[in-house]
């Protein structure tokens, strides 16, 4: 590495248990890679302090901006984000230096008494503040011919699971990756297959960011990058951007690799957008060669967005301000 300074590298992180777990993992990897100590610098973001709904305070980007300010001010050397919380527009001054191998991208149900979505009773109350989850859960319930009530909740993972353990809700929906990172996977009642509930674009992946001007550090961090994860999430985020959706909009997307006899043949990109009541969903997928560049991945996302817009997707996104 070009950076000869022997001071510790400063990794900016939010204080939540999930953020600390994610940052801790990356800190260890970077320490191993560079032989330099990595020091965690805790930063409070507006999203951590405010009790307003995410949609009200401008989407999940609120978790990111304080970390980015610290990067730009040179107070920290790099930051780790949940990729699904990153706005689709990348600031020019910041490098998305690495996207490590993705964890399980699926959403999961945590329900009382080991119930599953199919066995939840009529009128079950399911906690989620995400319009994407509401839309798909309500559509699924309609398909099963049952009534559910989606209840908007916020708070960290422990708080959300608490709604079920305290008996206030029948179930909550969370990301598998977040639970596994804080060591609570054992509480999962059901993994929700992407055919029923598509995750948020980038879900389960991390993003490691540093200042564009710190080229040596960017080059070092790049060793943690997983090219397959990068093209997959690039296609998903391109779909989101092309649908002109904010990050709390009801858009789900998942790119996965199709494998034949252990050889990767193609990439499939699935997308969904819907009304939160689940009455109308536009759900489409395209399959093509695995993108060999970010540009090709972006093009795939745009192609799927164009096809979804053809099917009326634009009319379903008026809810993004709700
Ligand atoms: N919006 C909050 C958030 N951001 C990232 C994760 C989980 C980890 C991930 O998806 O990478 C979560 C919690 C959740 O949705 O359950």
Q: 271 and 212, same structural domain?
A: no
Distance CA 48, CA 155 (A): 9
pLDDT of residue 169: 98
- CB 112 within 8 Å of CB 164: yes
What atom of ligand 1 comes closest to residue 203's alpha carbon?
A: 10
The domain spanning residue 56 has which CATH number?
A: 3.40.190.10
pLDDT of residue 322: 35
Q: Which residues pair with 254 in a beta bridge?
A: 270
What atom of ligand 1 comes closest to residue 175's alpha carbon?
A: 16
Domain assignment present for residue 213? The answer is: yes
The domain spanning residue 289 has which CATH number?
A: 3.30.160.40
* Mean pLDDT of all residues in 224-252: 88
Minimum mean pLDDT range among 33-42, 115-124, 221-230, 313-322: 313-322
Distance CA 131, CA 135 (A): 6
Q: Which residues pair with 274 in a beta bridge?
A: 281
Q: 152 and 88, same structural domain?
A: no
| 85 C-beta closer than 6 A to ligand 1 | yes
Domain assignment present for residue 1? The answer is: no
Q: Separation of 7 CA from ligand 1 center, angstroms? A: 32
Domain assignment present for residue 309? The answer is: yes
Catalytically annotated residue among 14, 68, 106, 132: 132
Asked about 85 being catalytic, the answer comes back as yes
Q: 219 and 176, same structural domain?
A: no
In testing the pocket of ligand 1, which one of 26, 84, 172 has its CB within 8 Å of the most ligand atoms? 84
Q: 95 and 13, same structural domain?
A: yes
Asked about 84 being catalytic, the answer comes back as yes
Domain end (from 192, 215, 240): 192
Half-sphere exposure of 52 (CA within 13 A, CB side): 12
Please provide the average confidence, as pLDDT, over all residues in the chain: 91
Q: 178 and 112, same structural domain?
A: yes
Q: 74 and 221, same structural domain?
A: yes
Domain assignment present for residue 149? The answer is: yes
Q: Which domain holds residue 87?
A: 9-100+205-225
Catalytically annotated residue among 160, 181, 230, 270: 160
Domain assignment present for residue 72? The answer is: yes
Q: 209 and 94, same structural domain?
A: yes
Q: 299 and 262, same structural domain?
A: yes
Q: 54 and 125, same structural domain?
A: no
pLDDT of residue 253: 98
| 127 C-beta closer than 6 A to ligand 1 | no
Q: 79 and 217, same structural domain?
A: yes
Asked about 310 being catalytic, the answer comes back as no
Domain assignment present for residue 140? The answer is: yes
Q: 81 and 214, same structural domain?
A: yes
| 82 C-beta closer than 6 A to ligand 1 | yes
Binning pLDDT at 50, 70 and 90, where does residue 2 land?
Answer: very low
Domain assignment present for residue 200? The answer is: no
Asked about 106 being catalytic, the answer comes back as no
pLDDT of residue 1: 46
In testing the pocket of ligand 1, which one of 178, 181, 237 has its CB within 8 Å of the most ligand atoms? 178
Angle at 225 between CA 222 and CA 227, to 5 degrees: 125
In testing the pocket of ligand 1, which one of 175, 188, 191, 197 has its CB within 8 Å of the most ligand atoms? 175
Domain assignment present for residue 199? The answer is: no
- pTM of the full structure: 0.92
Distance CA 236, CA 300 (A): 9
Q: 221 and 262, same structural domain?
A: no
Distance CA 66, CA 247 (A): 17
Domain end (from 168, 192, 216): 192
Asked about 268 being catalytic, the answer comes back as no
What is the value of ipTM here, to two decimals?
0.94
Report CA torsion sign: 124, 126, 131, 132.
negative
pLDDT of residue 244: 76
The structural domain count of the chain equals 3
Asked about 247 being catalytic, the answer comes back as yes
């Amino acid at each position: 590495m070009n950076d000869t300074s022997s001071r510790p590298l400063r990794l900016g992180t939010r204080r939540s248990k999930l953020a600390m777990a994610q940052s801790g993992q990356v800190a260890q990897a970077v320490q191993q890679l560079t032989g330099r100590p990595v020091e965690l610098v805790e930063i409070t973001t507006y999203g951590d302090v405010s009790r307003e709904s995410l949609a009200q305070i401008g989407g999940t980007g609120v978790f990111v901006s304080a970390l980015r300010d610290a990067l730009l001010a040179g107070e920290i050397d790099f930051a780790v984000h949940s990729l699904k919380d990153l706005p689709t527009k990348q600031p020019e001054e910041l490098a998305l230096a690495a996207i490590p191998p993705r964890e399980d991208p699926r959403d999961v149900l945590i329900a009382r008494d080991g119930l599953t979505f199919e066995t939840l009773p009529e009128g079950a109350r399911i906690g989620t503040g995400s319009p994407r989850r509401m839309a798909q859960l309500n559509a699924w319930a309609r398909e099963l011919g049952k009534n559910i009530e989606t209840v908007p909740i916020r708070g960290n993972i422990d708080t959300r699971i608490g709604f079920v353990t305290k008996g206030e809700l029948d179930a909550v929906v969370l990301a598998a990756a977040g639970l596994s990172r804080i060591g609570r996977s054992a509480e999962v009642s059901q993994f929700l297959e992407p055919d029923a509930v598509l995750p948020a674009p980038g879900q389960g992946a991390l993003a490691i960011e540093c200042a564009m001007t710190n080229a040596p550090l960017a080059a070092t961090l790049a060793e943690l990058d997983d090219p397959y994860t990068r093209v997959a999430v690039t296609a998903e985020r391109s779909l989101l951007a092309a649908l002109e959706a904010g990050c709390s909009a009801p858009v789900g997307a998942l790119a996965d690799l199709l494998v034949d006899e252990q050889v990767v043949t193609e990439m499939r990109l699935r997308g969904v957008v819907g009304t939160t009541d689940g009455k109308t969903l536009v759900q489409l997928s395209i399959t093509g060669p695995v993108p060999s560049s970010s540009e090709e991945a972006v093009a795939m996302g745009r192609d799927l967005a164009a096809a979804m817009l053809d099917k009326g997707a634009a009319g379903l996104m008026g809810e993004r301000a709700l």
